[in-house]
Amino acid sequence: MTNGSDCTPSSKPTAEGAEETAWQLSKEITVYPNPNSGSFRVSCDCTLDGPVTITLFNAVGQEVYHYSGELSGAVHDVDLESPSSGVYYLHFTTSTDRYIQKLVIE
């Protein structure tokens, strides 16, 4: 197999020393209401020992929302301005775990 320049790759790129935590579909993360109109609450029934990152991606992988910081009461409210209808994927990351949740905006 060549890459268009008639070159054949000889190795795969790797990141040495990087530990990857698998994404998990989980009942620990709740998005409600789901479906919604762009305003929803993210709730975590998990151990939070520091800041979290919440990122929302549309179906083609574009980031449409990002939050990084502490959660008050293990919940976070999201209010998107004029979101497009469709399927979205919420990535929720703690210091030890990574979760993914599917949601629908109508």
Q: Note down pLDDT in tens along the chain; length 106 residues.
A: 555 555 544 444 444 444 555 665 667 899 999 999 999 999 998 878 899 999 999 999 999 999 999 998 899 999 999 999 999 999 999 988 899 999 999 9
* Residue 11 forms part of a structural domain: no
Query: What are the tokens at 3?
Result: 């890459």
* Residue 41 forms part of a structural domain: yes
* Residue 95 forms part of a structural domain: yes
Indicate the burial class of 93 (C-beta count within 10 angstroms; 0-12, 13-18, 19 or more). middle
Q: How many domains does the chain have?
A: 1
* Residue 15 forms part of a structural domain: no
Tokens 């004029």 -> residue: 82
Query: What are the tokens at 58?
Result: 């549309």
Q: Quick check: 85 and 35 in contact, CB under 8 A?
A: no
Q: What is the CATH number of the domain that holds 56?
A: 2.60.40.3080
Segments forming the whole domain that contains residue 30: 23-105
* Residue 13 forms part of a structural domain: no
Distance between CA 33 and CA 30 in Å, rounded?
9
